Amino acid sequence: MSSVTVNVLAHITVPAADFPEPLLYVRSESITRDGEALSLSAGQRATFDTAFGLFPAGRWRRLTTLSNVSARVHVEGRARVNLVAVSGEREDIIDSVEVDGGTAIVSLPNLDTSSVGTLFVTVTAIDGRVLVRGGEWTTTMAPTRNVTLGVAITTFNRQEYVLKTISRLVELERNVAELSGRLKVVVVDNAQNLKPELASDAPVTVIPNPNLGGAGGFARGIMTLRDGGWASHIVVMDDDILLEPESVVRTVSLLSYARSADLCVHGAMMSEEQPWMQFEAGANYEFRSVYPLRAVGRLDDMRDRAEVIPDVAEIPFDYTAWWFTVFPVHLAKENPLPVFVRGDDVAYGLMHTGKHTVTLPGVVVWHADFALKNNPSSLYYEVRNFALIDTLVFDEHKWWHLAWRYLGFGFRNLYSHRYASCEYMVRGMEQFLAGPKEWMKIDHAALHDDLRRVAEEKAIPLTDDQLALGFSPPRPKIIRLAGFLLAAPTLGGSLIPSFFRARRMGVAQIDVRAVGLAIRHDDILYRHPRLPEGYICSRDRERFKHLQKRVFRSAWVLMRTYRRLKKDFRAMYPQLVSDGAWRERFGATPGV
């Protein structure tokens, strides 16, 4: 009698002993470890109704052709393993088995016709001590698609992070049977100094590249994988992430059974500083808004059972960030925009992949807080690049939409003593207003070297005296509104007599524009809410007047020239993203 082939869909993982948030993986009265296993005493129960432990049955049923699923749990000692099905508000044990060591198997044989939303397993020690060594979600159904995954990583002097990621990917390809021969990694090194220690047969290629930013690195990685003809799918991945290895396993599994050949997968970003907190799981783009980027799932506590157990329909996205986004090669016929950083992933999602993208529990990365990355040079790219995206993507986008955002955000920076941010915003707008022919001439590496020289508004460690200031107490909403309305007629507080101003330094969170505080405070400390870092911005009347004139002058030019610019940028788009234009930017470095 022939044996039944079992295909692994995902692993049920016991968290590492030093991982600070085990509730992302398992729940137990008191989590104790024995080496790499979870140790349970008699009567104690461990449940895997967690963000990384459950099986999202409803999502699999909607997105794939999968017909059956089982859970295998590896234990030492006498234990009972239950398979629990969640359907709406109901939770029912649908399969149960008692084992005295070995592998317990519990199953849902009719996934495709059931109404189950979520599955998870529980393990209860019957007597003595029981060790739980994890397990797998499996199926006897053969994959319906052959998925080969090409990983494109762009790096610039992030060796501490990127070498760990490369090592984890190599280990996955070597040690996880489901990924053997199905994973290749292309690392585009914009600093041209990365030298990983790799075995001769490691599926990794390092390509030295001019510093063309994330856009240039990802363009080269995508072009290399697309031209190589081997990969069915591409995953674009940041160099400064901490990768959950299961993200790769679960992504390949989902795509192997996908109903749609266009399905794309996005890994949610978790906070490196607070590993339980989800920062973003997809995003939308509101071009009419001053703040167009709208994250989905922001600040969700992924330890919270009520947050992760319900089966919810897939949330539609406009785009997904490129810390971990996977798309089929046939959707990657065009290259990213030459924007250096900020917006290449937004544009690609809006134009090509966003509407096909889903998230999946356990497909995540951890990333440092973006509040520490934001600085005046990043605002240069944000203003310039988002203006380009607006003109290319949205037919109904008009000059007043862009002017509203530009003036609104410029006002917030200028009237909160953030003069460097305002100045770099103006520079970004002026570059956009120069038109596509000038954009094609940009030396991106030289421009970025110039932009990053800004020393202002960059977070540095705070002194003990600064930390002791705490934060300025929040004012009632009506007072905050009044302060905001008074900012313009008082020129940000410059016209208020000095004896009305506060003597003490104002303190605000680093990611806000403290317009109200700036009216009464000549100095504002912008500090991170959780980390002891920040910077001080001080009133400068002459700089204020000079920048205000530049803001209004560039807004006037925008109003007069936008219609022509939109037409010109759209006409130039094929050339902006063409293989030929990108190869010219890459220059004579080896590779593509």
pLDDT tens across 77-113, in order? Answer: 999 999 999 999 999 999 999 999 999 999 999 999 9
User: What mean pLDDT is predicted for residues 199-210?
Assistant: 94
How far is the C-alpha of 578 from the C-alpha of 344, rounded, in Å? Answer: 14
Which residue is it, tokens 């990333």?
Answer: 367
The conformation of residue 577, written as its DSSP 8-state character, comes to T
20: tokens are 């600070």
Angle between helices 399-414 and 419-433 (to 10 degrees): 160
> Please, which residues have CB within 8 angstroms of residue 554's CB and are 6 or more apart in sequence?
406, 426, 429, 430, 433
Whole-model pTM?
0.91
pLDDT for res 127: 87
Q: How many CB atoms lie within 10 A of CB 421?
A: 27
Contact 383, 522 (CB under 8 A): no
Tens digit of each residue's pLDDT (9 = 90 or more) over 250-308: 999 999 999 999 999 999 999 998 999 999 999 999 999 988 999 999 999 999 999 99
pLDDT for res 345: 95
On the question of pLDDT at 1 being above 50, the answer is no
The conformation of residue 315, written as its DSSP 8-state character, comes to P
On the question of pLDDT at 72 being above 60, the answer is yes
Classify residue 394 as exposed, middle or buried by CB count within 10 Å of its CB (0-12, 13-18, 19+): middle
Mean pLDDT for the chain overall: 92
pLDDT bucket at 18, cuts 50 / 70 / 90:
confident
Strand partners for 118: 86
The conformation of residue 176, written as its DSSP 8-state character, comes to -
pLDDT bucket at 589, cuts 50 / 70 / 90:
low
pLDDT bucket at 121, cuts 50 / 70 / 90:
very high
Percent of the chain with pLDDT over 90: 80
How far is the C-alpha of 592 from the C-alpha of 587, rounded, in Å? Answer: 10
- Would you kindly state where each structural domain of the chain is located, as residue ranges? 7-139, 149-368, 376-543
Query: Which fold does the domain 149-368 belong to in CATH?
Result: Spore Coat Polysaccharide Biosynthesis Protein SpsA; Chain A (3.90.550)
Contact 586, 209 (CB under 8 A): yes
**Residue 335, SS3 per DSSP:** coil
Tens digit of each residue's pLDDT (9 = 90 or more) over 494-540: 777 776 777 888 999 888 888 888 888 899 999 988 889 999 999 99
On the question of pLDDT at 321 being above 70, the answer is yes
End-to-end CA, the chain: 51
In words, the CATH class of domain 7-139 is mainly beta
> Please, which residues have CB within 8 angstroms of residue 187's CB and are 6 or more apart in sequence?
153, 155, 162, 166, 194, 196, 204, 205, 206, 207
pLDDT for res 270: 95
How far is the C-alpha of 155 from the C-alpha of 166, rounded, in Å? Answer: 11
pLDDT bucket at 30, cuts 50 / 70 / 90:
confident
Sign of CA dihedral 431, 432, 437, 442: positive
Tens digit of each residue's pLDDT (9 = 90 or more) over 370-396: 766 678 999 999 999 999 999 999 999
On the question of pLDDT at 483 being above 70, the answer is no
pLDDT for res 128: 86
User: What mean pLDDT is predicted for residues 426-438?
Assistant: 96
Tens digit of each residue's pLDDT (9 = 90 or more) over 334-377: 999 999 998 999 999 999 999 999 999 999 999 987 766 678 99
Contact 221, 335 (CB under 8 A): no
On the question of pLDDT at 140 being above 70, the answer is yes
